[in-house]
Chains A and B, each alone.
Chain A
Amino acid sequence: MARYIFRRILQFIPVLIAISLFTFVLMQAIPGGPFDFAGDRSLPPTIVANLEAKYHLDWPMWKQYLSYMIGDDILGEEGGSRGVIRGDFGPSYHFRGQTVADIIKITLPVSAQLGFMSLLLAIIIGIPAGIIAALNQNSWIDYTTTFGAVMFVSIPNMVLAPILIWIFALILGWFPVAGWGAKPPYLLGFLPTALNKEFFSHAIMPVFALGTGSAAGIARLTRASLLQVIGEDYIRTARAKGLRERAVIVIHALKNSLIPVVTILGPAFAALLTGTFIVEQIFGINGMGKHFVTSVGNRDYQVITSVTLLYAVVLVIANLVVDITYAWLDPRIRYD
């Protein structure tokens, strides 16, 4: 297993290089540059030229890329970049004086909190809902759950979020309209220090907006999967042993039925990540997703490439965790 994980990580290095190169080139191909505007006003060309020279944007693109990835000293050039490989993601062009690392340190914990809670919500609502629906197949419980699942799968979060704000913040006034209830410093670098009312009242709507789609998808898959498993021969064997129905379901059906559910957690996680772009924007949450979108508008090249790389790493780790869980659930799967 350790060898498998190691190999997966090695395989991922060329993928990361491709992603960084692709993002880097694509960003620079977009018309406009990071120094076109200061606030609402456009800057005089001489100042723009100076700034571009300062950040080496006048270098040929291959050199800029190598400077970003491996550092200036290896290139034999003057300049401060130590390269991504040594943990230097460079400065932000837009927020001058801040490095990309500074920005990530502030925004990543917020997004991680939002994303993790949404994933948790998706799992702890989705799986039980699917199980309950399957065990009460064709009853009103099943129909209600299935109807709810279809509804929430079909409502995109950019529609759900404003509806939630309108009802629960504006009409009922239960929750604040926007913002996030945890501030730095964070526990272990990403956990909120206090799980208080302030935190949850801010979190509840964005987490709901982000997580319900996945919860609904997981519920539908769990239901279908459990129904299929209940029809399997080995379930009849379990009943023929004289086991109670509860033991038949819990011991013999559940684990089998979760195997396909685990395999969609990878894509579900990716959906949550991209969902943060929208949800953080709508709820005005200062997370990485919102910052990422803003950075595209600002042509903040280093931020965009670095955050893209970070997303890629997170997704790969998530998929690795999924694969390991999968092997743990299904003894027929062995990696080596």
Chain B
Amino acid sequence: MDNREVILDIQDLHARFHTQDGVVHAVNGITYQVHAGETLGIVGESGCGKSVSMLSVMDLLAKPPAEVQAEAILFKGEDLQHFSQAEMRKVRGSNMTMIFQDPMTSLNPVLTVGFQIKEPLKLHLGMSDEEATKRAAELLELVNIPEAENRLSDFPHQFSGGMRQRAMVAIALACNPTLLIADEPTTALDVTIQAQLVELVKGIQAKLGMALIWITHDLGVVAGLAERVIVMYAGFVVEDAQIDELYGNPLHPYTLALLKSLPRLDQRKEEALATIEGLPPSLLERPQSCPFEPRCEFAKPKCKESNPLLEAVGPDHKIACWVDIKTGELR
């Protein structure tokens, strides 16, 4: 059991999009907690609702077309759903910050990097321009940008992709957040730069102690970073476990399949990587059966009849599955 204070408590979060083709059920009732200082990895295939769930929490989805519902979204004990727009703006960008997938497009091309880092400092901490400039330079230094002071007046196009993402990290760290959400921040970077960024954020987190949610579809990255991992599928959380437990003792068939598809060092060359057959289900209907059932090697008739809920199967280990994959029988 984690004794640290729960800082984010998401209870039964739903997110839907009303589109011309119908209602897209992007997030279908997810529940999980994040503790102070914890690093939580969220993994899952493209389109499984990782970004949408985080954008819902940050209240960054355009409504319409989006519609968000939850039992509660508690941030430091307060329900964000009851916050006014102004109160929400105070949380966003200061206590709870987010960095995004594509560093090439996430910074404004016509404003200097310095201006963009100073913005939250002035807005949330009420700093003067002078103070903000000083702090912005410190922040750039913190994210390992050489000659930080001189780079403040640069425009984003004068930064490399890796540097831009580090500038994004600097913006997100500006006000010492309680929670930093990183939405696939390394996907668009090449491998060495990816590793650098992961190390950088790890180091900063150790120093500043904020909680970190790291979204990725790369289980390898998560392994080196997260304490706990949530696996999502088609808008559901299907497994939630401590990192060692998840890698050593995966209990959901989808997690098992994901792990099998990871390349391993001890793998022989002629051995092909396992892939997961089939495609994720259409999100246009809310599934009544288990959404993974059509692709599942353990599927039983019951899996077609009803959708399993997320249940504790051990201390700090939850899954949403009817089957015990060790025996292949219903639990």
Contacts and interface: CB of A to CB of B under 8 A. Distances in A.
Interface string A224-245: 0000000011101111111110
B92 A241 contact: yes
A240 B58 contact: yes
A331 B110 contact: yes
Interface residues of B, number: 28
A329 interface: yes
B123 A241 contact: yes
Nearest to B110: A255
Given A237-B100, A241-B123, A252 B93 contact: no
A232 B108 CA distance: 9
B172 to A, nearest CB: 8
Interface in A167-212: none
Given A241-B92, A241-B171, A330 B100 contact: no
Contact of B105 (A234, A242, A252, A330): A234
B107 interface: yes
B41 to A, nearest CB: 21
Contacts of A244: 89
B142 to A, nearest CB: 18
A259 B108 CA distance: 13
A242 B89 contact: yes
B92 A242 contact: yes
A111 to B, nearest CB: 35
Contacts of B91: 242
B162 to A, nearest CB: 17
Interface string B161-176: 0000000100100000
Interface of A is mostly: helix
B179 to A, nearest CB: 13
Contacts of B120: 241-242
A171 B123 CA distance: 57
B123 A331 contact: no
Contacts of B110: 255-256, 259, 329-331
A331 B89 contact: no
Contact of B60 (A240, A255, A259, A332): A240
A242 B155 contact: no
Nearest to B86: A244
Contacts of A232: 105
B94 interface: yes
B157 to A, nearest CB: 5
Interface in B50-103: 58, 60, 89-94, 97-98, 100, 102
Interface residues of A, number: 21
Contacts of A243: 89, 93, 119, 123
A259 B120 CA distance: 26
B106 A237 contact: yes
A205 to B, nearest CB: 39
A239 B105 contact: no
Contacts of B111: 251-252
Contacts of A236: 60, 100, 106
A236 B60 CA distance: 7
Contacts of B97: 240
B155 A331 contact: yes
Given A239-B60, A240-B60, A332 B102 contact: no
Nearest to A245: B85
A29 to B, nearest CB: 50
B93 A242 contact: yes
A241 B93 contact: yes
A51 B14 CA distance: 91
Nearest to B89: A242
B124 interface: yes
Nearest to B88: A242
A332 B92 contact: no
B276 to A, nearest CB: 29
Nearest to B95: A242
Contact of A332 (B89, B94, B155): B155
Nearest to A244: B89
Contacts of B119: 238, 241, 243
Interface in A279-326: none
A233 B106 contact: yes
Contact of A330 (B58, B109, B124): B109
A242 B123 contact: yes
A241 B157 CA distance: 21
Contacts of B89: 242-244
A256 B109 contact: yes
A239 B108 CA distance: 12
A256 B157 CA distance: 14
B98 to A, nearest CB: 5
A230 to B, nearest CB: 9
A233 B99 CA distance: 11
A100 to B, nearest CB: 45
Interface in B104-132: 105-111, 116, 119-120, 123-124
B109 A242 contact: no
Nearest to A238: B108
A334 to B, nearest CB: 10
A330 B157 CA distance: 11
A186 to B, nearest CB: 39
Contact of B98 (A240, A252, A255, A331): A240
Contacts of B58: 240
18 contacts: A234-B105, A234-B108, A234-B109, A236-B100, A237-B107, A239-B60, A240-B60, A240-B100, A241-B119, A242-B94, A242-B120, A243-B123, A244-B89, A251-B111, A256-B108, A256-B109, A331-B109, A332-B157
Interface of B: 58, 60, 89-94, 97-98, 100, 102, 105-111, 116, 119-120, 123-124, 155, 157, 168, 171
Given A237-B168, A241-B123, 10 more contacts: A232-B105, A237-B100, A237-B108, A240-B92, A240-B93, A240-B97, A241-B120, A244-B89, A252-B108, A259-B110
